[in-house]
Amino acid sequence: MPSGMKRALGSAVCMATTAIAAFFSGQISASAQSVEEFYRGKTISMVVSSSPGGGYDALARAVARYLGKHIPGAPSIVVRNMPGAGGIVATSFINKVAPRDGLTIASVQNNTPFEPLFGTKEADYDPTKMTWLGTPSVETGLLIVWHSSPVMTLADAQKMEMTAGASGANSTPSFYARLLNEMLGTKIKVIAGFPGQNEAYLAMERGELDSYGVTFWSSLTSTKPSWLPEKKIRILVQYGPEKEADLPDVPFGPDLIKKEDDRLLMEAAYAPLAAGRPFVAPPGLPPERTAALRKAMMDTFKDPEFLADAARQQLQVDKPRSGEQIQAQIKRVYEMPASVAERLRKIAQNY
């Protein structure tokens, strides 16, 4: 081989060796970088799956004000709204588009982890693979009736028809009304067409409705705090991941279910309530960053300043659940028998 070619070849080999060494050096450096070193001076983007001004938005912004100080490196946090399709748009973004480096997280509606199970075509993501970070509370669903309704007890609701308002046939209030009819034998007739909860509540006050399809305890105590003490309503049954401590005398739906298949169906149906108001990150995060974000989220939920801020805004933050707990709940629901999923889809899709 001519000497010129030898020198060129040697130079090329040397350059390639240097490049390879630099690449692996960078890889080792990145892998050796601590969580604190990674987050120091960075900004985390927190996506909110609803419009500005609502309950999810208020909670997400409250969490964002305190979360950064609990993450090693104290990154700043910027909130941006990404509403659409009941939270599916933001959830799909987190699953498919957001970088998997721990610098993008989201606050999503609690229905979104279960939309694929309900058969929603737009929900083309796998929630079991996403990185769930925690929730500051869980929800308790209530079946309430206005005080002038002839329906006095759950037994009455199982014998006589009662009307309940909802926005549409496939809305959350409609779904839970059909669930109670299926599980507990109630005779709830859904009247769709109300723009929202406030309009249905007004119809109840006018005597035009007996009930709203589903009322959440957190919503009742923040929007209509006088109704219960003034005996404007009666609560016939409660349901969700756990019984509400402030309602010791109200029947708990899951306790009334006898068959195992029905118990599984009930658990799958109230799984969104167990998810509360969840925070999530993309799949495939580095494990040490996943652990740091989950710990920071739980530390935020215990932060006295955060709790005081939430109290001022009447945000329910008293029943936190960890990311690990949410991840396990989602996994359990998706591993239930196919027959349970099929029944759930029938109730959700109203057929």
Tell me which CATH code domain 141-271 carries: 3.40.190.10
- pLDDT in the model for residue 8: 42
pLDDT value of residue 12: 42
Amino acid 112: pLDDT: 94
Element (H, E) at 36: helix 35-39
The single residue listed with the structure tokens 């945000």 is 315
Give the E-state strand segments of the chain in sequence order.
43-48, 76-81, 104-107, 131-135, 141-146, 162-166, 188-192, 211-212, 215-216, 233-239, 279-281, 321-322
Bridge-partner residues for 292, per DSSP?
none
DSSP-derived letter for residue 76 is E
pTM (2 d.p.): 0.82
Q: Where do the domains of the chain lie?
A: 37-137+276-349, 141-271
Which CATH class name applies to 37-137+276-349?
A: alpha beta
Structure tokens that stand for 89 in this block: 């748009």
Q: Write down the pLDDT at residue 351.
A: 60
- Report yes or no: 73 and 36 within 8 Å, Cβ to Cβ: yes
Residuewise pLDDT in 10s, the chain (351 residues): 444 434 443 444 344 444 444 444 444 444 578 999 999 999 999 999 988 887 889 999 999 999 999 999 999 999 999 999 889 999 999 999 999 999 999 999 999 999 999 888 899 999 999 999 999 999 999 999 999 999 999 999 999 999 999 988 878 889 999 999 999 999 999 999 988 888 999 999 999 999 998 898 988 887 888 999 999 999 999 999 999 999 999 999 999 999 999 999 999 999 999 999 999 999 999 999 999 999 999 999 999 999 999 999 888 899 999 999 999 999 999 999 999 999 999 998 876
Q: What is the pLDDT of residues 83-116, one digit of tens each?
A: 998 899 999 999 999 999 999 999 999 999 999 9
